Amino acid sequence: MARILITSALPYINGIKHLGNLIGSQLPSDVYARYMRGRGHEVLHICATDEHGSPAELAAKKAGQPVAEYCAEMHAVQADLARGFRIGFDHFGRTSDPANHKLTQGFAEALDRAGLISEVVEHQIYSVDDARFLADRYVEGTCPNCGYDRARGDQCENCTKQLDPTDLIEPRSAISGSTNLEVRETRHLHLRQKQMRGQLSEWIESRTDWPVLTTSIAKKWLNDGDGLQDRGITRDLDWGIKVTRNGAPWPGLEDKVFYVWFDAPIGYIAATVEWADKTGNDWKRWWRTDAGAQDVKYVQFMGKDNVPFHTLSFPATILGSGEPWKLVDYIKSFNYLNYEGGQFSTSLGRGVFMDQALDILPSDYWRWWLLSHCPETSDSEFTWESFQSGVNKDLADVLGNFVSRVTKFCRSKFSEEVPSGGQYGPEEDALIADLETRLKAYETHMEAIDIRKSAAELRAIWVAGNEYLQAAAPWAVFKEDPDRAAAQIRLALNLIRLYAVLSKPFIPDAAHTMLEAMNATDAEWPESVAEAMSALPAGHAFTVPANLFDKITDEAREEMQARYAGKG
């Protein structure tokens, strides 16, 4: 049994996330965690809300709330939505919690002792009208690299280029929109990443199994242009973790806080500490290599815009501290999910957000479509036609129809018990052999975290059962040979149990319904399909479940398409 630490990129606290955010980290991490737990491994699945920095202050100001109150409220909302999508975090923490303050300050002091912190006088944008220095995300303008006119002062979300606010063309205050800006001097701490370049390069080159997307972004940031640069780790903000040195305010930086991208990844560790405090577990065996974490496989999930910070800045913090912290083993990154030919937009009301999705349909509908269209190798696109097709064909016609036909036919001809009589014949043996091959393929794809391939193989397993049932036609065979029909239905009922177990990572609610109907909630991952086909013996009681999935009508699809098209 392996020990697997899984972290999902921390969602910003500033509002409810859309479906693209959901498929970019939290949902795939949950699928992997569920699968690994199903295989008997010890899994710890960690996430938290990312609460510091200008996004939190801006959102709180817009909401008319104190920032601490706003963050507490939005954490509860995001935690509830994660539960609504059946995302089974062991702990969903907050980067504003005391554990993260302590750890972040400790890392900064360790880096300072290692000579990797420097005090730098920066030229930073000051808004005369707002009477304050503007942190990176308080500055918006045109990206000098790609021309995107809503680039932020830390990074262009369009081309992912790392920026400084002074790089922007025609910068403006994100607080007031004012262009009455000046460049003034201010003192900050920098992490001397350039000194870590050789060590980081060697580490990245050793990660030969990473996805191409992850490695290509890491190497681009490491080598393109002037290569890896020193990076500021403090900001002129009120809300955040105070900058300390030797347990006291850092002289000359008493009014500063740590940069959100310095403290946020440390939040993974802090959330684990909080989990351990609540459960009585030992967090160090997951994060400290001097306490057993060397045996842990650590897997991170994130969108491609987060890759630079997780392949360079956070590892620089870990390595530079000189302390025995666990480094990530595998980074699963994702491209973007677009919406109907464009981007999701909160301001324009364009696209479906997590709360809206759950108001429309249960979570399994969304989980299945998003995961089966996961943007792994390129950007993918949500369209209502594709969503309707995926739900109707995959969930309703293939899986739901199979469960309904088998259970209802058995009830009508044999009662609500697995029927006795007859033996499996060549047709059943051929199906079992085919499914053995498909099961191994499914497991291989899941182990490799190939989400779309896994979903496609799972669907193929469902399809195989449907094709068998259609060819076997027990409703016709029953008239001439009831024993033969009994054997066919016995196999089909065992297939429902198998489908439920295999489908748990993707559609957990439907899987639970199937297992309850089959009176098999204790079912475990099969050693083989042959074994699974005799798990429900003759005489085993079951019930006919309610319809697993309802189809989406053309009228409903058109209504939703119009409702979430946005303002233009």
Measure the CA–CA gap between 10 and 88, rounded to whole angstroms. 15
Residue 19 phi, psi dihedral angles, 5° rounding: -60, -30
Residue with tokens 């200008």: 54
Helix or strand run (H / E) with residue 442:
helix 426-447
CA proximity to 467, closest of 427, 411, 412: 427
Q: Which residue type is seen at 128?
A: V
Q: Give residues with Cβ within 8 angstroms of 520, minimum separation 6.
A: 497, 500, 535, 536
Sign of the four-CA dihedral 362, 365, 371, 374: negative
Q: How far is CA 322 from CA 57, 167, 310, in A?
A: 33, 33, 18
3-state helix, strand, coil in the chain (%, to 5): 50, 15, 35
CA proximity to 155, closest of 17, 53, 29, 265: 53
Mark the binding-site residues, compressed into ranges. 143, 146, 156, 159, 346
Collapsed DSSP state (helix, strand, coil) of residue 457: helix
Q: Which residues pair with 350 in a beta bridge?
A: 345
Spatial contact of 392 and 365, defined as CB atoms under 8 Å apart: no
Helix or strand run (H / E) with residue 122:
strand 117-127
Collapsed DSSP state (helix, strand, coil) of residue 472: helix
CB atoms closer than 10 angstroms to residue 152: 21
Q: Give residues with Cβ within 8 angstroms of 206, minimum separation 6.
A: none
Q: Which residues pair with 185 in a beta bridge?
A: 123
Mark the binding-site residues for ATP, compressed into ranges. 346
Residue with tokens 């503007």: 134
Mark the binding-site residues for Zn(2+), compressed into ranges. 143, 146, 156, 159
Helix or strand run (H / E) with residue 276:
helix 260-279
Measure the CA–CA gap between 20 and 87, rounded to whole angstroms. 15
Q: Which residues pair with 541 in a beta bridge?
A: 417
Residue 192 phi, psi dihedral angles, 5° rounding: -80, 70
Measure the CA–CA gap between 247 and 229, rounded to whole angstroms. 28
Q: Which residue type is seen at 248?
A: A
Residue 342 phi, psi dihedral angles, 5° rounding: -150, -155
